[in-house]
Structure 1
Amino acid sequence: MKLSRSIRLGIGILAVAVTATACGGDETRSVSNSAENGNLTVGIKFDQPGLGLRNPDGTFTGFDVEVAKYIAGQLGVSEENIEFKEAPSAQRETLIQNGEVDYVVATYSITDSRKEKVDFAGPYFVAGQSLLVRSDNTDITGPDSLNGGKRLCSVAGSTPAQKVKDTYAQDVQLQEFDTYSACVEALRNGAVDAVTTDDIILAGYAAQSPGEFKVVGEPFTEERYGVGLALGDDESRTAINNAIEEMISSGAWESAFQETVGASGYPLPAAPTVDKY
């Protein structure tokens, strides 16, 4: 039996509506609502030693991981009820906007352009962009020595990559990879001359391969790490800000830093002031 054109059109519209509902049903995800249900999905990095690292046994370690767990605990969710999801730099906003995660703790710098897409709690840490080179390198000592077409690696979608484009594009050949671990491997095999991102991230990679790499120069930016969450989720942002303040005031923030980043030799900085914008 043939269906009339109007019936076929109606069925098509219904199918599109059902598909849109199925795909977009999580877009209004709220951290507080998820916490009330007893489970949280949190975006972290999987390849950053000292900050967010997936270990061979499937466990996760690092300062960002500890911050994520502390926040969850303050929201009433135990560690075993947290699902960690990988959040590469270029995908962090998308993961939040699509409702695939409740919040992101992944060396996520708070910027005005990002605040147009997602909200931030924090900051929970303040870092600065720096440079990682091979230990025998004597040419690169800081951003002022990035000249002569040196090959510099950073990650697509990251604040450090954008800083290079804005400030040093005439001096260097920027190569953008998906992860910093890929950049470090390129540095190891001589495919690039330096890697740039935040000093605390680079310190972790240097500590992971003693004697092979070194961090050079003074930090040349200020990066305020925030917890990313859905735009307009004010209730959850307030709850996360309160959790960060409690972590700092209780001493848990310093303990988490020493247990994760401290081994790299990176000095303990002053605790940040939470910005309740």
Structure 2
Amino acid sequence: MKRIMTLALSAALVMAFAATAFAGATYDKIMKDKVVRIGIMTDSIPGAFYNAKKEWVGFDVDIANEIAKRMGVKIDQVPVNNKTRIGFLQQGRIDMSVSNMTHKRSRDKSIDFSITYFFDGQKFLAPKGKFSTHKDFVGKRIAVMQGTTSELNVKKLLKEMGDAAPKVISYQKESECFQALQMGRADAWSTDSTILLGYAAQVPGKYELVGDFFSNEPYGIGLVEDDSKLRDAVNFALQDMWNDGTYETIYAKWYGPDTKYYFPLTEKIEMWP
């Protein structure tokens, strides 16, 4: 029995040492190399997308660059999508993911998150004047992005309204969802409202958002698991951006009243004294 207890204690000490050894490993590497690899979407208008000049721009792009600047390192922008953004973090291919990702408890089992840096909710996008309430989408074909919270949310909503077998069609990218709507392969597209606003603005007057929010989508920056130094650096950068007005400037650039994507800011970032 004594030998078993000794072995158990030794194993616990080894695990504790390993945890200490690896805590902060990603942050230390970033500061040593002076480069942070940040995963960013490429077709999430206006979060992160390629404009007419083929420039990679958007709210998340500006936020990512500002975080890197405040950490005192250069940025390596890595393209990600809904299916790769978590896997890339787990595989060590990126150090953080600024990719309109809802912070969910299920995702927190495999990666860490920053404080909430953006507040959104889910709606439907449909041809203008065709639908007026959520109930109108029962039995209709709804485009969603595969593997997202949006896919789960819309299925749940439709079932609650009596749709026993929701016709939810999954696509890999936002642009594919919008194309399905434009081509008539889907009657509506459902995801976070700011993404829908971004795509609707590309063809003014043809599409509209329908109904109230039916989910809460707090975006967090995805981070590698168990690196408190990196998490603190990101959280402090976000809070400092809010304090000195930089966040408001970036937000107004992409979601202000003078933009095509107007989306009033209704909440504030969590601040620590």
Structure 2 length normalisation: TM-score?
A: 0.83
Q: Distance in 2 between matches of 1:74 and 1:32?
A: 16
The answer for the alignment partner of 1:165 in structure 2 is 155
Q: Distance in 1 between matches of 2:156 and 2:133?
A: 17
1:268 deviates by: 2.3
Q: Report the CA distance shift for 1:175/1:232 in structure 2 as closer, same or farther (over 3 A).
A: same
Question: After the TM superposition, which segments of 4 or more aligned residues of structure 1 sit over 6 Å from their partners?
Answer: none
- 3-state SS, counterpart of residue 204 of structure 2: coil
Q: Deviations over 1:151-210 (max 9, x none)?
A: 001101111111123332462300010011100011011110000011111111111221
The answer for the alignment partner of 1:209 in structure 2 is 203
Q: 2:143 aligned with 1:156, yes or no?
A: no
1:113 deviates by: 0.1
Q: Distance in 2 between matches of 1:142 and 1:89?
A: 28
The answer for the alignment partner of 2:188 in structure 1 is 194
Q: Is this contact kept in 2: 1:29–1:99, CA < 8 A?
A: no
Q: Give runs of aligned pairs for residues 1-277 of structure 1, distance below 5 A.
A: 30-55=26-51, 57-77=53-73, 81-135=74-128, 137-138=129-130, 140-147=131-138, 149-169=139-159, 171=163, 172-262=166-256, 263-274=259-270
Q: Is this contact kept in 2: 1:62–1:261, CA < 8 A?
A: no
Q: Is this contact kept in 1: 2:123–2:209, CA < 8 A?
A: yes
1:231 deviates by: 0.9
Q: Distance in 2 between matches of 1:32 and 1:155?
A: 35
- 3-state SS, counterpart of residue 117 of structure 2: strand
Moved more, 247-256 or 188-197: 247-256
Q: Distance in 2 between matches of 1:179 and 1:257?
A: 24
Q: Deviations over 1:98-155 (max 9, x none)?
A: 01111101110000000001000020011000111122x42x22433221x2000110
Q: Report the CA distance shift for 1:30/1:275 in structure 2 as closer, same or farther (over 3 A).
A: farther
Instruction: Output the amino acid matched with 1:158.
Output: T
Instruction: Output the amino acid matched with 1:261.
Output: Y
- 3-state SS, counterpart of residue 178 of structure 2: helix
- 3-state SS, counterpart of residue 202 of structure 1: helix
1:265 deviates by: 4.3
Q: Distance in 1 between matches of 2:185 and 2:194?
A: 23
Q: Is this contact kept in 1: 2:46–2:261, CA < 8 A?
A: no
Q: Report the CA distance shift for 1:133/1:228 in structure 2 as closer, same or farther (over 3 A).
A: same
* Ranges in structure 2 where 5+ consecutive residues have no aligned partner: 1-23
Q: Report the CA distance shift for 1:66/1:160 in structure 2 as closer, same or farther (over 3 A).
A: same
1:58 deviates by: 4.3
Q: Is this contact kept in 2: 1:43–1:104, CA < 8 A?
A: yes
- 3-state SS, counterpart of residue 220 of structure 1: coil
The answer for the alignment partner of 2:4 in structure 1 is none
* Ranges in structure 1 where 5+ consecutive residues have no aligned partner: 1-27
For the aligned residues, what is the CA RMSD?
1.9
Q: Distance in 2 between matches of 1:165 and 1:216?
A: 16
1:29 deviates by: 6.3
Q: Is this contact kept in 2: 1:31–1:103, CA < 8 A?
A: no
Q: Percent identity?
A: 30
Q: Is this contact kept in 2: 1:68–1:105, CA < 8 A?
A: yes
1:214 deviates by: 1.4
Q: Deviations over 1:193-243 (max 9, x none)?
A: 000011111111111221222112111111000000111111111110111
